[in-house]
Amino acid sequence: MDKIEIIGGNPISGKVKISGSKNSALPILACSLLTSNIMKLINVPGLSDIHSMIKLLDSLNTEISFKTNKVKLKSNRPRRNFASYDLVRKMRASFLVLGPLLSKYGNAKVSLPGGCAIGARPIDMHLEGFEKMGARFLIEDGYVIGEVKKQLKGAKIILPFQSVGATENLLMAACLADGETIISNAAQEPEIIDLGKCLILMGASIEGLGSKRIKIIGKKKLGGCKYRGMPDRIEAGTYALAVLGCSGSLRITNLDEPLIDNFIKIFSPFDNFVIKKVDDNAMIVLSEKIPFKGVRIKTAPFPGFPTDLQAQLSAVMTKASGESIIEETIFENRFMHVAELIRMGAEMNIDGAKVIIQGKDEIHGAQLMATDLRASSSLIIAGLMAEGKTIINRVYHLDRGYENIEKKLSKCNVKIRRIKN
């Protein structure tokens, strides 16, 4: 397996172009099952998770071509509405084919999902929502087997909490349901807005995107469209936090105005950290090489501090002045990076849903093991901040969510390379 080698200690300087959003592209790829017309998607990142979704859609009789961040799809009626364990186990977002298959074809058999081991992330909310729309389910031998009599029906659905995956799955299914569907306590993430915009271009009737109440009026059919997906806000946030940890100046491009405004807001409590808006598509991140103060941060659904940046922030705060307390409110098992950071000399401990960090002047390079996608990027940041050499193993986790991260960073005054095995 490949490794990443980093020689730490350099400030970051230069420019980085952000790739398309993985968390937006995956549900948009899944929504291609709702139409038999051609879909053309632009700004799709070349990541292993994207390739996994493409393999799954191919198994469902979708014609696909993927070249240089552009995907062309034409969904045909599957021979079987079946998503196998081998294809679904690698990535939780594969479960997003359930809603489109149920809505368009009336039945589906989908393996229980896999992906990063960062908490239970139950599928109950997906299934309960579909049941209110008339679906019936059996869970057997690790598969969810769903069936609908004639057609899904519009329903009023109240989610117990703002689940991104459940909101996306139910939103897609409702587009072909009979009647009106209301999703209350819906997730408000930009990726859901992006999915909704694509569905509207396909002919869907959707109101309330970005709010906690989404209204969908089902259509008899949807058409194809050409759609450019949003930039990856988690990739951008990762690079921004790397600048805070290492000091320097970085121009981050291929963004959009709402994301820049959100970064300015969520990073406003941070000491010695300046974000300047250049225009609607770019920002400059600045941090001087002086000690920065620790923070108290709680993760939250959008527009709060993202859980997907919690591990990266934890790495940065290992060199802060004073104590930092970071509370994880979304997933119950998202501190697996802590043990690896302690191997580098970090002083931190887990207290329930919180990690408490006592900042130090230095951390040191070490042999490390990536445990999940965002943990792997936190180790990249820690390696850039550390004295000496860091080797990160199992970087296939990294390749699930970061497109050419070592190549992008190597152009920004840091010493990083991939060692291929």
Decide the pairing of beta strands 415-419 and 3-7: antiparallel
**Within 13 Å of residue 333, how many CA atoms lie on the same side as its CB?**
8
pLDDT for 118 equals 38
Q: Name the residues annotated as catalytic.
A: 116
Which tokens sit at 331? 């997933």
What are the backbone angles phi and psi of residue 60, rounded to the nearest 5°? Answer: -100, 20
Query: What is the DSSP-derived secondary structure letter of residue 401?
Result: T
In the chain, the largest separation of any two C-alpha atoms, in whole Å, equals 65
**Helix or strand (DSSP H, E) at 4:** strand 3-7
How far is residue 202 from each of residues 37, 215, 227, measured CA to CA in Å? 9, 16, 10
pLDDT by residue (tens digit) across 178-229? Answer: 999 999 999 999 999 999 999 999 999 999 999 999 999 999 999 999 999 9
What pLDDT does 116 receive?
42
Phi then psi for residue 50, to 5 deg, are -65, -45
CA 353 – CA 402 distance, rounded (Å): 26
Phi-psi domain of 359 (left: phi exceeds 0; alpha: psi -120 through 50; beta: other): beta
Query: Are 161 and 134 within 8 A, CB to CB?
Result: no
Say what the pLDDT of residue 332 is.
Answer: 77
The CATH architecture that domain 3-18+289-419 belongs to is Alpha-beta prism (3.65)
pLDDT (0 to 100) of residue 280: 94
Return residue ranges of the chain for CATH 3.65.10.10: 3-18+289-419, 22-228
Whole-angstrom distance, CA of residue 81 vs CA of residue 64: 17
Q: Tell me, what's the pLDDT at 114?
A: 60
Q: What pLDDT sits at residue 298?
A: 97
Cβ distance 262 to 277 under 8 Å? Answer: no
Q: What is the chain's mean pLDDT, rounded?
A: 95
pTM of the model: 0.95
Cβ(19)–Cβ(50) below 8 Å: no
Closest by CA to 214, choosing from 189, 182, 166, 192, is: 182
Residue range 22-228 in CATH 3.65.10.10: yes
State which residues of the chain have pLDDT below 70.
114-121
Give dist(CA 195, CA 206) in Å, integer.
11
So what's the pLDDT on residue 316? 97
